[in-house]
Amino acid sequence: MVKLVIDMMGGDNGSNATIGGVKKFLESHDDCEIIAVGDEKELEPIKDIVKIIPSESVLPMECGVMQAMRQRDSSVFKAVSAVNEEKADGVISAGSTGAFLSLATLITKKIEGVERPALISPFPTKVAGKYAVLLDIGASSENSPEDLKQFAVMGQAYCKAVFGNQNPKTYLICNGTEEGKGNELSKKTYALLKEDPNFKGYIEGRHVLDGEADVVVFDGFTGNVFLKTAEGVAKMIGGMMKDAFKHSLCTKIGYLFARRGFKPMLKTMDYKKVGGALLVGVNTVAVKAHGNSDPDSFAASIEVAYKLCKNQVVDKIKENLK
Amino acid sequence: MVKLVIDMMGGDNGSNATIGGVKKFLESHDDCEIIAVGDEKELEPIKDIVKIIPSESVLPMECGVMQAMRQRDSSVFKAVSAVNEEKADGVISAGSTGAFLSLATLITKKIEGVERPALISPFPTKVAGKYAVLLDIGASSENSPEDLKQFAVMGQAYCKAVFGNQNPKTYLICNGTEEGKGNELSKKTYALLKEDPNFKGYIEGRHVLDGEADVVVFDGFTGNVFLKTAEGVAKMIGGMMKDAFKHSLCTKIGYLFARRGFKPMLKTMDYKKVGGALLVGVNTVAVKAHGNSDPDSFAASIEVAYKLCKNQVVDKIKENLK
């Protein structure tokens, strides 16, 4: 039995997204107990299928860490606290990233030996069905070479636990591929990683999603820029494709003929299906769902957390860090 | 009359690309004198339309700075030297970026007061016909807040000279938009830029190409990751689109109907048309053409250099730095 706590109120769509997500998830899982934290009235529709912890206050999306710590009756504070109190396996929130990550770190504590937890997520690549695991995509703003070395270890543990990949090819983001390239941080990290047999060297932004790399290590600042750039360019091109098909009656007819071909592409590009990112390095499975989650993508986030618990990812990270 | 020196041998396609490019460019320009540096035999076809400076040695694409400085008979060394010797207005190379940038910096010298030259290029945005000017996209691997402040000044001068935009909205790349976000470098740079009335704050990777920003400032490492990520994602999606249309007979028919609609998109996404990046901060118009230039894109690079000379971009940068 997996036990998950869910912050039902965070995210742009509040309980509208999370209630549907919980229902959908539970339809296909009978070995998972869910503890839902949020407004009792709003959670009425699911009161028979989950345990409810009432909370009437919600943190705003742009909330700072100090506010997150002080507002102890917020749904996310209560949800993260419930991990310890209820001995749950994991916790999910679609609310403020900063608030959720700092609460998860402060309340469930960092794994012994971990300096900085990191946000990790698998991303679709050119190779159908193959994912690249990227970290840190935004938990930190600044990292040391030692942080990045730990990210590599935690990324590899994630790959082993989730994809059963025993020798994940690990790369470090850089502005070139030859040894000697990079900034101070890259060079020092390269020197630390050199002894790791899974470390294959530097990788440039253009090759991260080629399907060759299993794990790509970023400092949090660069990882965040990478993630948002990839997202921005994909959206921009997606918008242009729509415009292209809407151009004239002729192109609209073209769409009718072509759309079947585009299905695999849309499936690959549907980042929402990935379901959210894991905070690795803390003593629980803390999954950050997309702020703009809808019921389907929130269900996918619960699924991610459920699988990570089943795969005992936290224990495997602890083993790898030894 | 504009006088341009061209390294005819650099780039993946050597003189095969540059000769065609020069011919194409000169067909539509009669107020430009070209000095072509390269193998005399290979340059035979254009000997009547350009002045030739013979050079039989070519630097490899992966050449280091030391080799670039030592191999004084290389086409790129001779080309950059000719800027001073022939009193030329600019120089173009499709060869090794590192070699070309360091030679341009060492031989033509930095503009007084400039700490670090930067690689700058306009990029297509969501808004048709609107470009965002990005720098540094890879001249440096590490920058100080003072470097980034100068990049903002030089980027704005470029916008004024090339697009006639007198108040270019200037942003700094970051992992969030609120003041207080970012790493040490972002925070210190933000403090320095705050007094500039054109500075509009932080921008995230996903909004760089929205069409709102006129100038976006990056440190060279992050700028390079941004550039290559955008390129990689665009290529990945482009490849998926091709596969989608090739999926079946039905989708191929769809392509025939739809292709007209895709023309503006392909035009916007054709980075080759942008023609290459300028090294700002040195005493000449040094344009780095794409390594894999073909005759068309190399002609576009010559066009870029020609226009930048016509617009007296170097003088305008000097004025703005005062």
Which residue of chain A comes nearest to B239, CA vs CA? A126
Phi, psi of B244 (to 5 degrees): -65, -45
Strand partners, A171: A201, A216
Longest dimension (CA), chain B: 63
Number of domains in chain B: 2
Answer whether A202's CB lies under 8 Å from A182's CB: yes
Mean pLDDT of chain A: 92
Grade residue A115 by pLDDT with cuts at 50, 70 and 90. Answer: very high
User: pLDDT tens digit string along A54-66?
Assistant: 998 999 888 888 8
Asked if omega into B136 is within 30° of 0 (cis), the reply is yes
Do A120 and A105 share a structural domain? no
Q: Which of A176, A229, A256 sits opposite B230 (nearest CB)?
A: A229
A55 & A123 share domain: no
* pLDDT the model gives residue B272: 59
Structural domain span for residue A67 = 1-113+281-322
Q: Is A43 helix (H, G, I), strand (E, B) or coil?
A: coil
Comparing CA positions, the residue from A316, A320, A314, A303 lying closest to residue A279 is: A314
Token output for A227 = 């993630």
Q: Which residues of A touch B228 (CB under 8 A)?
A: 204-206
Q: Across-strand partners of B74?
A: B57
Instruction: Tell me the CA distances in angstroms from A203 to A150, A174, A193, B224, one per residue in order.
Output: 18, 6, 14, 12
Residues in a beta bridge with B52: B36
Q: Which residue out of A97, A179, A225 would a mutagenesis test of the B interface target, given it has the greatest number of B Cβ atoms within 10 Å?
A: A225
Q: Residue A206 and residue B231: Cβ atoms within 8 Å?
A: yes
Residues facing A74 on adjacent strands: A57
CA distance A217 to A120: 10
Instruction: Tell me the average pLDDT across B243-268.
Output: 83
Residues A126 and A188 in one domain: yes
CA distance A114 to B206: 30
Q: Which residues pair with B120 in a beta bridge?
A: B135, B278
User: Across chain B, where does the E strand assignment appear?
Assistant: 2-7, 32-38, 51-54, 90-93, 118-124, 131-135, 170-173, 199-203, 215-217, 277-280, 285-288
Q: Do A228 and B234 touch (CB under 8 A)?
A: no
CA atoms within 13 A on the CB side of A220: 22
Give the number of beta-carbon pairs within 8 Å between A and B: 205
Q: What is the Cα–Cα distance from B93 to B75, expressed in whole angstroms?
A: 9
Cα A186–chain centre separation: 24
pLDDT score of B18 more than 80: yes
For residue B216, the cross-strand partners are B134, B171
Same domain, A169 and A63: no
pLDDT higher than threshold 70 for residue B114: yes
Task: Give the pairing type, strands A277-280 and A285-288.
Answer: antiparallel
Segment A17-23 mean pLDDT = 95
What whole-number percentage of chain A has pLDDT above 70?
Answer: 98
Same domain, yes or no, for A260 and A288? no
Q: Give B-chain residues touching A264 at CB under 8 angstroms.
A: 240, 243-244
| Contacting residues of A for B210, CB less than 8 Å apart | 232
Per-residue burial over A90-104, b if 16 or more Cβ lie within 10 Å, else e, is bbbbbbbbbbbbbbb
Whether pLDDT at B33 is above 70: yes
Query: Tokens standing for A10?
Result: 């965070």
| Bridging pattern class, strands B277-280 and B118-124 | antiparallel
User: What is the pLDDT confidence band of residue B75, given thresholds at 50, 70 and 90?
Assistant: very high
Q: How many CB atoms lie within 10 A of CB B302?
A: 26
Judgement on whether residues B107 and B120 belong to the same structural domain of the protein:
no
Could you report how far apart the first and last alpha carbons of chain A are, in Å?
A: 28
Q: Is the dihedral of CA A123, A125, A129, A133 positive or negative?
A: negative
Q: Say yes or no for a CB contact (<8 Å) between B209 and A241.
A: no
Give per-residue pLDDT as tens, B165-194: 999 999 999 998 888 889 999 999 999 999
Q: What is the mean pLDDT of chain B?
A: 92
Mean pLDDT of B76-98: 95
Least confident window among B86-90, B102-106, B223-227, B250-254: B250-254
Note whether B56 and B132 are same-domain residues.
no
* A268 contacts B240? CB cut-off 8 A: yes
Of the partner residues B183, B232, B247, the one whose CB lies closest to the CB of residue A221? B183
For residues B23 and B33, membership in a common domain is answered with yes
Least confident of B101-105, B206-210, B272-276: B272-276
Determine the average pLDDT of the residues in B63-88. 92
Q: Is the pLDDT of residue B243 over 90?
A: no
Tell me the two tokens of residue B197. Answer: 């009335």
Same domain, A268 and A121: yes
Q: In angstroms, rounded to a whole number, what is the distance separating the alpha carbons of residues A153 and B165?
A: 49
Task: Test B205 with A250 for CB contact under 8 angstroms.
Answer: no
Q: Which CATH number does the domain housing residue A50 bear?
A: 3.40.718.10
Q: Name B19's Cβ contacts closer than 8 Å, sequence gap at least 6.
A: B8, B42, B43, B45, B46, B295
> What is the token pair recorded at A126?
């050119």
Segment B104-110 shows an average pLDDT of 95
| Distance to chain A for B126, nearest Cα, Å | 6
DSSP string, B201-228: EEE-GGGTTSS--SEEE--HHHHHHHHH
pLDDT digit string (tens) for A214-272?
999 999 999 999 999 998 888 888 888 888 888 888 888 888 888 888 887 777 766 55
Q: How far is CA B219 from CA A160, A204, B84, in A?
A: 35, 16, 29
Give the burial string for A15-35 (b: 16+ CB within 10 Å, else e). Answer: bebbbbbbebbbeeeeebbbb
Distance from CA of B242 to the nearest CA of A (A): 10
What pLDDT shows up at residue A273?
Answer: 61
- Sign of the CA dihedral running B49, B53, B56, B57: negative
pLDDT level of residue B273 (50, 70, 90 thresholds): low
What percentage of chain B has pLDDT greater than the value 90?
70
Give me B134's structure tokens: 């990005």
Q: Do A240 and B204 touch (CB under 8 A)?
A: no
The DSSP code for B115 is S
The pLDDT score that the predictor gives to residue A144 is 97
The pTM of this model reads 0.90
**Rounded to whole angstroms, how far apart are CA atoms B150 and A313?**
46
Query: What are the φ/ψ torsions at residue B242 (nearest 5 degrees)?
Result: -60, -50
Residue B166 sits in the same domain as residue B50: no
Distances (CA, A) of A92 to A246, B80, B208: 39, 58, 30
Sequence-distant (6+) residues with CB within 8 A of B112 are B318, B321
pLDDT in tens, A257-306: 888 888 877 777 665 566 689 999 999 999 999 888 899 999 999 999 99
Q: A261–B240: do the CB atoms touch at under 8 Å?
A: no
- End-to-end CA, chain B: 28
Sheet containing B170-173: which strands, arranged edge to edge? Answer: B51-54, B32-38, B2-7, B90-93, B285-288, B277-280, B118-124, B131-135, B215-217, B170-173, B199-203
Q: Has residue B120 got a pLDDT over 90?
A: yes
Say yes or no: B93 and B124 in one domain: no
Q: What is the pLDDT of residue B265?
A: 76
Q: What is the pLDDT of residue B56?
A: 86
Residues of B in contact with A178 (CB under 8 A): 62
State the pLDDT at residue B271: 58
Q: Answer yes or no: do B92 and B144 share one domain.
A: no
User: What value does the CA radius of gyration of chain B take, rounded to a whole number of Å?
Assistant: 20
Q: What pLDDT does residue A274 have?
A: 64
What number is the average pLDDT over the span A67-72? 91
Asked whether the beta carbons of residue A265 and residue B240 sit closer than 8 angstroms, the reply is yes
Rg (chain A; Cα; Å): 20
**Cβ distance B116 to B147 under 8 Å?**
yes
